[in-house]
Copies of this chain bind each other. A is one copy, B any other.
């Protein structure tokens, strides 16, 4: 039973297009056209619709629009984690680009295994137009199999095994290679590596760069300790490296967070950086320049990775295509600060 026509009190339910049409005494089609500026609408009706919409504080229901238009103007972002400076920077890059393109962001994180990732992906259907994917801890085949073929996607730091999915990659190999070569050129002869988690692509690539840099010219000494990309694991790895008989004279941690953990271990052991041991990281997260001594590292252009990934996705959304095949590698850059004892430094 509706309240009598013209009742003063509107229902507390948000106004729908029907309410606007009723108040303006036009059809819902006209309301839709007037509000969206599509198809000519007479000046008077236009005005009536505008007034009615304003009075009712009408806002279109996005789910209904998404259903009929097959467009959500939203992008799903699946990350392994949402925490820490790395992801903060990444999301920042994505967010900025999305805002610029008028896209919203639906974020989802920490899907530990394949089935959780599958669930997260399934939950996105009908809420997003496309997906940005970073699940370095999963077998690259998993997301490829999971993805509905109709869903545009861009992979971040995941080498699609069949090379079919558009992908942006950090030049982990090149960055690590350059860093270790730099350390060698500084005169360090016992350079140890702290890796990331087993099977993580970034970590594997960085390790490959380390190995190759030690090959030519061949290094007599090398040592690899496993880390987990966490501060704690960096600390533990640092202690392990200091414990042995033959201490490294330089430690290359596969990311900055571990380098910082390692730094704590070194300082705590009463050693000095870079006096006793040089230290380097990877990523160049903001904190890297604030630790003491400021950390020499490899800049990964995290924000750029986010921005370009979103731009790539937005491009395939616009074309309503999947934009298959494109693969882009983002260059890295050596950032020399004091933790490796160079004269050159940057703050």
Contact = CB atoms under 8 A, between A and B. Distances in A.
B72 A63 contact: yes
B63 A127 contact: yes
Majority secondary structure, A binding face: mixed
Interface of A: 12-14, 57, 59-67, 72, 74, 82-85, 87-88, 91-92, 95, 99, 104-110, 122-127, 148-151, 260, 286-287, 290-292
Interface centre among A62, A148, A151 (most CB of B within 10 A): A62
B148 A14 contact: yes
A126 B64 contact: yes
Contact of A65 (B104, B122, B126): B126
Contacts of A59: 122, 125, 148
Closest 7 CB pairs of A and B: A62-B126, A292-B292, A61-B126, A63-B66, A88-B88, A63-B126, A59-B122
Given A14-B148, A61-B126, A99 B110 contact: yes
Contacts of A292: 291-292
B62 A127 contact: yes
Contacts of A126: 60-66
Given A105-B106, A108-B104, A67 B61 contact: yes
Contact of A67 (B57, B64, B291): B64
A334 to B, nearest CB: 22
A258 to B, nearest CB: 14
Contacts of A110: 99
Given A59-B125, A63-B126, A104 B104 contact: no
A285 to B, nearest CB: 10
Given A12-B149, A149-B12, A74 B106 contact: yes
A59 B124 CA distance: 9
Nearest to A64: B67
A127 B83 contact: no
Nearest to A68: B63
Contacts of A57: 148
Contacts of A62: 123-127
A104 to B, nearest CB: 6
B82 A109 contact: no
25 contacts: A12-B149, A13-B150, A14-B125, A14-B148, A57-B148, A60-B125, A61-B125, A61-B126, A62-B123, A62-B124, A62-B125, A62-B126, A63-B63, A63-B67, A63-B126, A63-B127, A65-B126, A74-B106, A74-B127, A83-B92, A85-B85, A95-B107, A104-B108, A290-B291, A292-B292
Nearest to A13: B150
A287 to B, nearest CB: 5
Interface centre among A108, A110, A125 (most CB of B within 10 A): A125
Contacts of A85: 85, 88
A88 B99 contact: no
